[in-house]
Structure 1
Amino acid sequence: MALENLRALTFDTGGTVLDWHNGFKSAFQQAGKRHGIERDWGMITNELRRRSMQLMLNLGEFAKPDYRFDDAHRKVLDELIDEFELQTFDEQDRHLIAYETPHHFNCWPDFPDAQAKLRQKFIVASFTILSYRLIIDTARHNGLNWDAVFSCEGIGKYKLLPESYQAVTEYLQLSPEECCMVACHEYDLIAAQKAGYRTALVRRKDEWGPGSTQTELTFSPDILVDSFDELVVALGVK
């Protein structure tokens, strides 16, 4: 099935659409300033993200999940506070960093206009390991309009499990080949490709902070672009 037969675009949302690094880093900086503490906030931010992701990917493979991404953020934050001697961060600081901040992440500036254009031709859905409430709140914060939100929280099987990708195509009543997974993460796209999806990799070079290292791709996506504006063009939308 050729790309012109696509019916739906399913977007990874954390990282691909939302700028988590600057959001978390700013929250850490504010809390640190409040308590007169200096640390490598960029490094701690990336560690928060990395460990939280490890707690979520493939969740539900052997048992029904008993926590969501918001819980993972808080669990990892508490660990990092102990590791980096940040115990002066009180409950207000911890709630702000782990919950309020991600629920108000800014999206990448090239996304809202592209989303509006893509919705003229495709079903445009969020397909994410983030919680439902986080996607709702960030959509309202950024003025985003999703045609649908598919959170692995509701599916009960988290990426990269094939059941999560299969569930979304069933909900959309489409074949996998009619769906294109859009992400900046290679591992997400490889799993989607194995499930029969078309794939579009949109590079987010600053996802892990300015000057983040770009790794060599180990697979070939159907579309490879450096911005959402380029994705719009690649999909033939005016």
Structure 2
Amino acid sequence: MSFKKRIKALTFDTGGTVLDWHTGFRDAFETAGRRHGINRDWAVLANELRRRSMQAMLNLGRDAPPSYNFDGAHQFSLDAILAEEGLDVFDDEDRRTIAWDAPHSFRSWPDVRDGLARLRDRYIAVSFTLLSHRLIIDTTRRNGLMWDAILSCEGMGVYKPLPAAYTKAAAMLQLKPEECLMVACHRFDLDAARNLGFRTALINRPDEWGKAIGPQKPPPGSEPYDIELNSFLELAAFLESESLAKRKSPSAVRARSAPLDQQLLADTALIALYA
């Protein structure tokens, strides 16, 4: 049986792969700053908010039931950043705008809506995400997207990249892991999924952290993913083609996986992000 015939569901990382969080946070910071006559490098603060809130979510539920969701992580991460940056002038209205209104209004990347619609014609399409249920509901409605299901780690009680998150996602779909294709721009997510038997598709998002940062280079000495492309439209064409093995995107950038601990550093701690 061919690769494509074995795949029954596509499980999509959503923050970063589907949604452009950097622009949303940056613009919200800028709006709040303008309101108070303050000018900073808001793109840097946007990235710091994302980095801290992501670190707060990864592996949540491993040692105890989660006591907050991603919306809560956005809020307490923002409060800490504003205190450290001397931006206490940002009031409750500003903080809600940045931590709630902005992420619940994130725009999807331009290729997502049409590409996702094509993919749903052939496969179950699921948002499998660290983000909260409410955030996915709001951004789905805002961007005119359609999911067959939302599998938020919030409802599972365990967060990626814990193995239980992936096994629960497959079980909830009543599928074997190898019948699921994990679609993500984050290598740590793909590596963790592959370790549990998922097939993997890397979607390059070079502007995820803003144009000034650009794409992250994959660590050396790693193996390729099953599919490596640059958009949902390319993924749709790829899966619609007669032979997965014969078709390669001319614009695809070959990225490679690495040990999970290296990927967690590269994708979330982002030690080299500001170098």
TM-score range normalised by the length of the shorter chain: over 0.9
**Among 215, 218, 221, the residue aligned to 2:217:** 215
Q: Residues 90-118 of structure 1, C-alpha deviation per residue, up to 9 Å, x if partnerless?
A: 00000010001100100001000001000
Q: Could you tell me how far apart the structure 1 residues matched to 2:195 and 2:44 are?
A: 33
1:149-168 residue pairs with structure 2 within 5 A? Answer: 149-168=150-169
Q: Could you tell me how far apart the structure 1 residues matched to 2:236 and 2:94 are?
A: 39
**Are 2:18 and 1:3 aligned?**
no
Q: Could you tell me how far apart the structure 2 residues matched to 1:2 and 1:91 are?
A: 55
Letter in 2 for 1:195: L
CA contact (8 A) 2:205 2:215 kept: no
Q: Residues 57-89 of structure 1, C-alpha deviation per residue, up to 9 Å, x if partnerless?
A: 000001000100000000010001011111110
Q: TM-score, normalised by structure 2?
A: 0.85
Q: Which residue of 2 aligns with 1:117?
A: 118
Aligned-pair identity (%): 55
Q: TM-score, normalised by structure 1?
A: 0.98
Q: Which residue of 1 aligns with 2:246?
A: none
Q: Could you tell me how far apart the structure 1 residues matched to 2:164 and 2:131 are?
A: 17
1:66 counterpart SS class: coil
1:166 counterpart SS class: helix
- For the aligned residue pairs, the C-alpha RMSD in angstroms reads 1.2
Unaligned residue ranges in structure 1 (runs of 5+): none
Q: Cα offset for 1:233?
A: 1.4
Dislocated runs of 4+, deviation >6 Å? none
CA contact (8 A) 1:190 1:219 kept: no
Q: Could you tell me how far apart the structure 1 residues matched to 2:3 and 2:16 are?
A: 24
Higher RCO by CA contacts (8 Å cutoff, separation 6 or greater): 1
Q: Which residue of 2 aligns with 1:78?
A: 79
Q: How many residues align?
A: 238
Q: Residues 177-202 of structure 1, C-alpha deviation per residue, up to 9 Å, x if partnerless?
A: 00000000000000000010000000
Unaligned residue ranges in structure 2 (runs of 5+): 243-275
Q: Cα offset for 1:219?
A: 3.3
Q: Could you tell me how far apart the structure 2 residues matched to 1:174 and 1:237 are?
A: 24
Q: Could you tell me how far apart the structure 2 residues matched to 1:99 and 1:63 are?
A: 25
